[in-house]
Chains A and B, each alone.
Chain A
Amino acid sequence: KAGVTQTPRYLIKTRGQQVTLSCSPISGHRSVSWYQQTPGQGLQFLFEYFSETQRNKGNFPGRFSGRQFSNSRSEMNVSTLELGDSALYLCASSLATGPSTDTQYFGPGTRLTVL
Chain B
Amino acid sequence: DQQVKQNSPSLSVQEGRISILNCDYTNSMFDYFLWYKKYPAEGPTFLISISSIKDKNEDGRFTVFLNKSAKHLSLHIVPSQPGDSAVYFCAADRGSTLGRLYFGRGTQLTVWP
Chain A residue with the shortest CB-CB distance to B93: A101
Let me know if A105 and B99 touch, CB within 8 A.
Answer: no
Q: A73-115, CB under 8 A of B: which get 1 and which 0?
A: 0000000000000000010101010011101111111010000
Give A31's nearest chain B residue, CB to CB: B99
How big is chain B's contact interface, by range?
A: 20 to 34
A/B pair count, beta carbons within 8 Å: 67
Contact with B along A41-69 (1 / 0, CB 8 A): 01101001110000110100000000000
Q: How far is the CA of A4 from the CA of B93 in the complex (A)?
A: 20
Is B25 an interface position by the 8 A CB rule? no
**Given the complex, which residues of B lie within 8 Å of A6, measured CB to CB?**
43
Interface residues in chain B, defined as those with a beta carbon under 8 Å from any beta carbon in chain A: 31-32, 34, 36, 41-46, 49, 51, 89, 93, 95, 97-106
A-side residues, CB < 8 A to B, are: 4, 6, 31-33, 35, 42-43, 45, 48-50, 55-56, 58, 90, 92, 94, 96, 99-101, 103-109, 111
The 30 listed contacts between A and B (C-beta, < 8 Å) are A6-B43, A33-B100, A35-B103, A42-B105, A43-B44, A43-B103, A45-B100, A45-B102, A55-B98, A55-B99, A56-B97, A56-B98, A56-B99, A56-B100, A58-B100, A92-B101, A94-B99, A99-B95, A101-B32, A101-B51, A101-B93, A101-B95, A103-B49, A104-B101, A106-B36, A106-B45, A108-B41, A108-B42, A109-B43, A111-B41
